[in-house]
Amino acid sequence: MKVLVAIKRVIDYNVKVRVKADHSDVDLTNVKMAMNPFCEIAVEEAVRLKERGVATEIVVVTVGPKAAQEQLRTALALGADRAIHVETEEQLESLAVAKVLKRIVEEEQPGLVLLGKQAIDTDNNQTGQMLAALTGMAQGTFASEVAVEEQKLKVVREIDGGLQTLELTLPAIITADLRLNEPRYAKLPDIMKAKKKPIDTRSVADLGIDIAPRTRLLKVQTPAERQAGVRVASVDELIDKLKNEAKVI
Amino acid sequence: MGILVVAEHHNGQLATSTARVVSAARVIGGDIDVLVAGSGASTVAEAAATLSGVTRVRVADDAAYEHELAENMAALIAILAGEYSHVFAAASTAGKNFMPRVAALKDVAQISDIIAVESADTFVRPVYAGSAIATVQALDALKVVTVRTSAFDPVEMAGSAAIEALAIVENIGVSRFVEEQLASGERPELSAARIVISGGRGLGSGENFKLIEAVADKLGAAVGASRAAVDAGFVPNDFQVGQTGKIVAPELYIAVGISGAIQHLAGMKDSRVIVAINKDEDAPIFQVADYGLVADLFEALPELANKL
């Protein structure tokens, strides 16, 4: 079974985000970028499916700027077989990305599509579900366990209140939650080998897909800062403050 | 055109999140209909009909909607959406699951996890794990929106909306519910609790969460946890407060043995009063805490439980 994994280049999760002075957006100049952590988990799961003999080929795809090839190389070093780079310097919305991915799904005909559950920049949590809608496939979102059995896929999902198990008809879309697995590190020989693996580059414009923005970002602000409060010296003082000053207990 | 609010319910009970989503919808104004989709949903529909500001409750009662499978829910909502200018749902795991599917079926954008409504087409939402706040205008005619429920007060239960039965059965048939493992708890629900006490890696073991529970019992509080505590296996993952877990905004949040990573802060920094108990006086959690106690939690927690 061919597995398609969609990944995104985002700001590194350790970076403290700065808002531009004109409040037009977040400032990404000279900021460390990396593969979105949830996407790393999706790649790792694909590699594990291949190691288990379930996946026969792993194709990794990204929709993003030229620099996103770095993240494709990382995925190739982790075990993906080849990559597709749909190049655009614009920041596409989830719906547009889902439309591009739908086109790739039609071309590649994967048995399973893996994505992260959300990107840590826009925090949208939409693309996988939208791709499932556009392709008419079943979706297993927020997956913490995936097992392929014949033409079915069993997925354990993290839901409010606990876990839910669903059985999906393949081909299907899975979005990875944090607990799905622990991604491995790429070894140096694998990084060297990844340089020889093919990346097929396409331009969004050539695909003839409607990527016109459906939303307008009016402004971006820094959230109201919470101020550090007071230190209390004892449990007694803490209870007293909560009762008499904050009046919350 | 009006607003359709998708109700959330569990075990025949209307979830409190629905009253909060209606509250967000009321900022826009106009008629508000509530959709109750489920199996044997009549009690839920009756409860939804009492939500203040609701015009009509529309009930899709069929086994196809029993476990809120995204494929069936989205197909149903997409059919109804044509009658509305807005579709709202809670940004719960259920809402996050089916709403983007609705948006794509209708070929419109979705605005996720809003914390404020500025106008009928302009919404405020956190991005970058709450490190920035974006104001976004939706340009599509239909607005599909999920609501961060902790950001809105619930409407009262003083209404009397009409109840209408829908005969739309959408069974897409590509997914099947197998089973559910729900963490049992007699304590208040984490995202709706007035007081939350959370433990982190500092607790050292799942057994030691008893110390947290003893204080929670005295305060009538819900128990939460940091991702570190969940990953270490101390408590199940639905206890997790943070960007990838639950977002809470209680009146009082007590963080015990939690350093205060950005991931965790994203889930609790809108709490009214934050208390931190940690033996590391340099822990970042103290930078957001209203009251900080530098102490060994193994001494402070039993003392706190005793004195409350």
CA angle B55/B60/B62 to nearest 5° reads 160
Quick one: average pLDDT of B248-254? 95
Quick one: average pLDDT of B237-261? 92
- pLDDT (0 to 100) of residue A193: 97
Give the bridge partners for A157, in sequence order. A143, A164
Is B185 a residue whose pLDDT tops 70? Answer: no
The share of chain B scoring above pLDDT 90, in percent, equals 90
Is B184 a residue whose pLDDT tops 80? Answer: no
| Distance in angstroms (rounded) separating the CA atoms of residues B90 and B267 | 16
Distance from CA of A160 to the nearest CA of B (A): 6
Q: How many CB atoms lie within 10 A of CB A212?
A: 9
- pLDDT (0 to 100) of residue A6: 98
- Compare all CA atoms of chain A with the CA of B191 and give the residue at the minimum distance: A160
| Any B CB within 8 A of A17 CB | yes
For the domain that residue A165 is a member of, what is the CATH number? Answer: 3.40.50.620
- pLDDT (0 to 100) of residue B243: 84
How are beta strands B122-127 and B116-117 bridged, if at all? antiparallel
Q: Given an 8 Å threshold on Cβ–Cβ distance, is B109 in contact with A248? A: no
The pair of structure tokens assigned to A142 is 């927020």
Nearest-by-Cβ selection for B177 from A17, A124, A166: A166
| Any A CB within 8 A of B92 CB | yes
| Distance in angstroms (rounded) separating the CA atoms of residues A71 and A9 | 6
Q: How high is the mean pLDDT of chain A?
A: 96
For residue B187, what is the DSSP state?
Answer: S
| Distance in angstroms (rounded) separating the CA atoms of residues A170 and B174 | 8
The pLDDT tens digits for B193-218 are: 899 999 999 999 999 999 999 999 99
Nearest-by-Cβ selection for A220 from B134, B174, B303: B134
- pLDDT (0 to 100) of residue B191: 81
Interface test with A, best of B127, B186, B197, B211 (most A CBs within 10 A): B127
What ipTM does the predicted assembly reach? 0.95
A 152-181 residues with CB < 8 A to B = 154, 157-169, 172, 177-179
Is B183 a residue whose pLDDT tops 80? Answer: no
| Distance in angstroms (rounded) separating the CA atoms of residues A211 and A213 | 6
Chain pair A-B, CB pairs under 8 angstroms: 251
End-to-end C-alpha distance for chain B, whole angstroms: 52
Q: Given an 8 Å threshold on Cβ–Cβ distance, is A214 in contact with B275? A: no
For residue A140, name the pLDDT band (cuts at 50, 70, 90). Answer: very high
Report the top-level CATH class of B190-307.
alpha beta
- pLDDT (0 to 100) of residue B253: 98
The pLDDT tens digits for A164-201 are: 999 999 999 999 998 899 999 999 999 999 999 999 99
Quick one: average pLDDT of B75-81? 98
Q: How many CB atoms lie within 10 A of CB B179?
A: 10
Phi, psi for B208 (deg, rounded to 5): -70, -10
Sign for the CA dihedral angle at B120, B121, B124, B127 comes to positive
Interface test with B, best of A164, A177, A239, A243 (most B CBs within 10 A): A164
Domain extents for chain B?
2-165, 190-307
- pLDDT (0 to 100) of residue B178: 97
The share of chain A scoring above pLDDT 70, in percent, equals 100
Phi, psi for B131 (deg, rounded to 5): -75, -15
Same fold, B2-165 and B190-307: yes
| B134: chain A residues, CB-CB within 8 Å | 217, 219-221
The pLDDT tens digits for A12-22 are: 988 889 999 99
Distance from CA of A51 to the nearest CA of B (A): 25
- pLDDT (0 to 100) of residue B182: 85
Is B11 a residue whose pLDDT tops 90? Answer: no
For the entire predicted model, the pTM comes to 0.93
The share of chain B scoring above pLDDT 70, in percent, equals 99
For residue A213, name the pLDDT band (cuts at 50, 70, 90). Answer: very high
Strand (E) positions, B122-280? 122-127, 132-138, 143-147, 162-166, 175-182, 195-199, 222-225, 252-256, 273-278
- Compare all CA atoms of chain A with the CA of B278 and give the residue at the minimum distance: A231
For chain A, the domain total comes to: 1
In contact, B46 and B113? CB cutoff 8 Å: no
Q: How high is the mean pLDDT of chain B?
A: 95
| Distance in angstroms (rounded) separating the CA atoms of residues A106 and B299 | 61
Distance from CA of A182 to the nearest CA of B (A): 11
Helix axes A94-108, B93-105, angle to 10 degrees: 70
Cα distances from B19 to residues A126, A178, B3, B7, B80, in angstroms, run 24, 30, 14, 9, 21
Distance from CA of A239 to the nearest CA of B (A): 8
Quick one: average pLDDT of B108-119? 98
Distance from CA of B189 to the nearest CA of A (A): 9
The pLDDT tens digits for A26-76 are: 999 999 999 999 999 999 999 999 999 999 999 999 999 999 999 999 999
- pLDDT (0 to 100) of residue A128: 98
| A100: chain B residues, CB-CB within 8 Å | none
Nearest-by-Cβ selection for B290 from A95, A127, A229: A229
Is A107 a residue whose pLDDT tops 90? Answer: yes
Is B275 a residue whose pLDDT tops 70? Answer: yes
Sequence-distant (6+) residues with CB within 8 A of B252 are A242, A246, A248, A249, B194, B195, B196, B219, B221, B271, B272, B273, B275
The CATH code of the domain at B2-165 is: 3.40.50.620
| A121: chain B residues, CB-CB within 8 Å | 127-128
Q: Given an 8 Å threshold on Cβ–Cβ distance, is B71 in contact with A232? A: no
